[in-house]
A = this chain, B = another copy of it.
Amino acid sequence: MIILLKENSSKSQMNYLMKWLAQKGVDVHVSEGVNRKLLTLTGNTSEIDTDLLKSIEIVDDVKRITEPYKSSNRACHPRDTVVRVGNAAFGGGNFSVIAGPCSVESKEQVLKIAQDIKKSGAGLLRGGAFKPRTSPYSFQGLRENGLKILAEVSKETGMPVVSEIMEQSQLPLFEDIDVIQVGARNMQNYELLKELGRTKKPILLKRGLSCTLQELLMSAEYLMMGGNENIILCERGIRTFETTTRNTLDLSAVPMLKEMTHLPVIVDPSHGTGLAKIVPPMALAAVAAGADGVMIEVHNDPANALCDGAQSITPSQFDTLIKQISKMRECCYKYDSQKEE
A302:B55 contact, CB within 8 angstroms: yes
**Chain B residues with CB under 8 A of A276:** 55
**Count of residues in A whose CB is under 8 Å from the partner chain:** 116
14 pairs from A and B in contact (CB 8 Å cutoff): A4-B65, A52-B306, A57-B303, A134-B188, A170-B191, A186-B189, A210-B241, A248-B248, A251-B282, A285-B285, A285-B286, A288-B288, A288-B328, A328-B332
**Chain B residues with CB under 8 A of A40:** 33-34, 38
For residue A80, CB closer than 8 A to chain B, the reply is: no
B252:A252 contact, CB within 8 angstroms: no
| Contact status of A248 and B245, CB under 8 A, knowing A40-B34, A55-B310, A225-B136 | no
A167 to B169, CA, bound (A): 10
- The interface-forming segment of A83-91, A106-114, A117-125, A215-223 is A215-223
**Chain B residues with CB under 8 A of A298:** none
B190:A210 contact, CB within 8 angstroms: no
* Contact indicator per residue, chain A 271-298, by CB within 8 Å of chain B (1) or not (0): 0111111100110111111100000000
For residue A32, CB closer than 8 A to chain B, the reply is: yes
Q: How many copies does the complex hold?
A: 4
For residue A61, CB closer than 8 A to chain B, the reply is: yes
B251:A239 contact, CB within 8 angstroms: no
Interface residues in A124-140 by Cβ distance below 8 A to B read 130, 132-140
A65 to B210, CA, bound (A): 29
A218:B167 contact, CB within 8 angstroms: no
B215:A308 contact, CB within 8 angstroms: no
B278:A288 contact, CB within 8 angstroms: no
B281:A254 contact, CB within 8 angstroms: yes
**Chain B residues with CB under 8 A of A274:** 51
